[in-house]
Chain A
Amino acid sequence: MIGTDQTSVIEREDLQSLFDVVIARGYVPVGPTVRDGAIVFDEVCRVEDLPGGWTEDQDAGSYRLKRRHDTALFGYNNGPHSWKKYLFPPRAKLWEAVKTENNGLTVREAEDTKRPFAFIGVRSCDLHALQVQDAVFMNPKHPDPLYAGRRGKALVIVVNCGQAAKTCFCTSMNTGPRAEGGYDLALTEILDGDDHYFIAEPGSPDGYSLLAGIPHREADSADVLAAQECTKRAAEQIGRKIEISDVKDLLYRNYDNERWDALERRCLTCANCTMACPTCFCSKVEDVTDLTGGHAERWREWDSCFTMDFSYIHGGSVRPTTRSRYRQWLIHKLATWLDQFGMSGCVGCGRCITWCPVGIDLTEEVRLIRASEKDKEADDG
């Protein structure tokens, strides 16, 4: 899309009108903001709510906010939150039921009362994560009404990355750092001396309409080049890598690899990786009644394949060991997901690496499994 005559420039001082326009059009703007020592997603109505001048250091098991030397509004990468918390809420009522006369039962589906969301500051990896969850929750045979309803109405405003965290590996997963489509509007933030502006590329009728409501000028070739340089810089900063061309077959061959035993000793089964992951979709349900016993509700909550309860059937948990639970997670993410949904379950955002309390790095695990095969070949040879 970049380079078309619709590519525009929005000056930094005009960015507030982006928020004003989405609010005027009935959206709840949500995006990054600083809270509790991290950059999280919440309602953001003003440019001042954004983490201006902040960035962070991320590495395996480590996340620290720090000040930038400039006033960039999007000069950081992903924090612990992902957009799934809006479309697939951590806890949501599915329905309520009442006992009626003669022992009868009436079930009423929960209504979604939320106004549509405008996601502001979606990174390219997270844009792909939305598409990964679309395949789960918008299966045409039985879509999830809550997810499908919110997703259909949501406005997606991308901000392309101008820097990479140490845990990023979108370039391995072909998910970034530049968003190539599937958004309403994509912004690239440019800081050049005293100039501070955004290259804006509309990607949908809603995006064109949104842009029309914001003061902007046509981008020239220098602007377009600056935007390309920005994401190129991010790509060059990426240090982590997964060789994905054959990763499915590699993992399918290695259900019995000794690396899983090493993970048995390291992994705490805390489930942080699955909570932080923008694509993990597993859930449990909770059935509750009120004190009269005549009113019942079902709630859906995020769950994790790292819990014992997750695979419990009569007689015990199918995956009682840490080894088998980590293996389930990793092989699902990088291998079985391909068979299930025709795409990888990993978008290379690196959250699971940063937010693992013991710093387990899936890129390293894949590399070690691959290396163990090579060692074995050498021994056999």
Chain B
Amino acid sequence: MQPQAEMRSPMCPYPFRVLEIAEEMPRCMTMRVAPDDATGDTAFAPGQFYMIYVFGHGEVPISTSGDPAKSGELTFTVMAVGSVTQALCALKQGDVIGLRGPFGRAWPVDLVKGRDVIVMAGGLGLAPLRPSIYHMLSNRNDYADLALLYGTRQPQSIIFRQTLAHWREDAPIDVEVTVDTAGRDWPGKVGVVTELLMGRRPDPSKTSALICGPEIMMRFSAYALMELGIAAENIYVSMERNMKCAVKMCGRCQYGPFFVCADGPVFAFNQVEQLFRIREL
């Protein structure tokens, strides 16, 4: 038996207060929150997620989207797609939410040290990847070439515009953005994200890739990277499933033999490649 002090339910949230909340695009908000009492901790690894509770509405799993080096606060980017995320997006500065976490396996930022890293993001998938980019840029000498290939539906759905502009102009990372469809006023590229790999000649022996986006985007991206010779074990994806507990108890996030909450959300592609081929898993 565990001593009583450690028996606090893993289901109990801790209070965090909204410092700032700003719109990324319609129905999509980025918020910074800080612990509202001494019990809250803010240390996390890039790619990990928290369960966010909105008073009376319920709870949703959301990955952190902020800089892991920044202590005392956490950043989340949320799209209003259901009742809880709608309530989250309607929060105001000063409101209090509940947080539990961080949970799950992080992006392998230590394992890929010394290598070229290609980060591929689809849509809101850029949010769980941003902490890994912050981390690699803060420890830039630990990595060889860095590239961010970001695809989204249309120019209006590009998130983190300021961050992207800053990285593009001032940071030692190669940033490319493409959109699926755009009007004539869009000066950038049009096409799916895998097209940004065309013309690239990554060295398979020293390149790793981190991918996050819709499952179909991750599948096509992973196979496109494998066609360039990059091994499945050097490609990482972040999975999404329904979750209620985040501690392997509610059973809902099962993905074949894995629990996405604890064995993921980040998986090496060779762990899940067979599962990707099974429909309705």
Contact = CB atoms under 8 A, between A and B. Distances in A.
Interface of A: 94-95, 97, 99, 103-107, 109, 136-137, 139-146, 148-149, 152, 255-256, 281-285, 287-289, 293, 296, 298, 300, 303, 305, 310-314, 318-321, 323-324, 328, 332, 335-336, 339-340
B251 A283 contact: yes
B15 A287 contact: no
A105 B36 contact: yes
Contact of A305 (B11, B55, B79, B251): B251
Given A103-B96, A311-B252, A332-B254, A94 B11 contact: yes
B45 to A, nearest CB: 16
A283 B250 contact: yes
Given A145-B7, A339-B257, A255 B278 contact: yes
**Interface size bucket, B side?**
35 or more
B259 A340 contact: yes
B251 A143 contact: no
A320 B7 CA distance: 37
Interface string B247-263: 11111101011010000
A252 B260 CA distance: 19
Contact of B256 (A99, A106, A143, A336): A336
B49 to A, nearest CB: 13
15 contacts: A95-B11, A99-B55, A105-B13, A106-B15, A107-B13, A139-B247, A139-B248, A143-B2, A145-B7, A313-B241, A313-B242, A318-B280, A320-B280, A328-B254, A335-B257
A149 B4 CA distance: 10
B81 interface: yes
Given A296-B56, A318-B242, A318-B281, 10 more contacts: A139-B248, A139-B249, A142-B249, A143-B2, A282-B252, A311-B242, A320-B280, A324-B280, A328-B254, A340-B259
A282 to B, nearest CB: 3
Given A310-B242, A314-B81, A94 B9 contact: yes
Indicate the member of B2, B14, B81 with the most A CB atoms within 10 Å: B2
Contacts of A106: 15
B257 A105 contact: no
Contacts of B98: 97, 105, 107
A170 B17 CA distance: 53
Interface in B56-70: 56-59
B252 A310 contact: yes
Contacts of A142: 10, 247-249
B12 interface: yes
Contacts of A312: 242
A143 B9 CA distance: 8
A287 B57 CA distance: 6
A107 B12 contact: yes
Contact of B250 (A97, A282, A289): A282
Given A145-B7, A282-B250, A336-B256, A324 B281 contact: yes
A296 B280 contact: no
A325 to B, nearest CB: 8
A285 B251 CA distance: 12
Contacts of B280: 318-321, 323-324
Nearest to B280: A324
Given A104-B36, A140-B2, A287 B7 contact: no
A310 B243 CA distance: 9
Nearest to B37: A104
Contacts of A139: 247-249
Interface in B79-102: 79, 81-82, 94-98
A324 B281 CA distance: 7
B244 A285 contact: yes
A145 B251 contact: no
Given A283-B245, A284-B250, A310-B252, A103 B11 contact: no
A281 B56 contact: no
Contacts of B7: 143, 145, 148-149
A-B pairs, 3 with minimum CB distance: A282-B251, A324-B280, A339-B257
A327 to B, nearest CB: 8
Contacts of A287: 53, 56-59
B15 A94 contact: no
Contact of B55 (A282, A296, A318): A296
Contacts of A107: 12-15, 98
B111 interface: no
A6 B239 CA distance: 55
Contacts of B57: 287
B91 to A, nearest CB: 10
Given A94-B11, A95-B9, A340 B96 contact: no
B240 interface: yes
A378 B212 CA distance: 44
A336 B8 contact: no
Contact of A293 (B1, B56, B248, B257): B56
B279 interface: yes
A342 B214 CA distance: 31
A256 B278 CA distance: 8
Contacts of A94: 9, 11-12
Contacts of A255: 278, 281
B78 to A, nearest CB: 11
Contacts of B55: 97, 99, 105, 289, 296
Contacts of B254: 328, 332, 336
A282 B250 CA distance: 5
Among A109, A287, A335, A339, max chain B CB count under 10 A is at A287
A285 B58 CA distance: 8
- Which of B53, B247, B256 counts the most chain A CB atoms within 10 A? B256
A145 B8 contact: yes
Interface string B206-224: 0000000000000000000
Contacts of A136: 248-249
Interface string B104-125: 0000000000000000000000
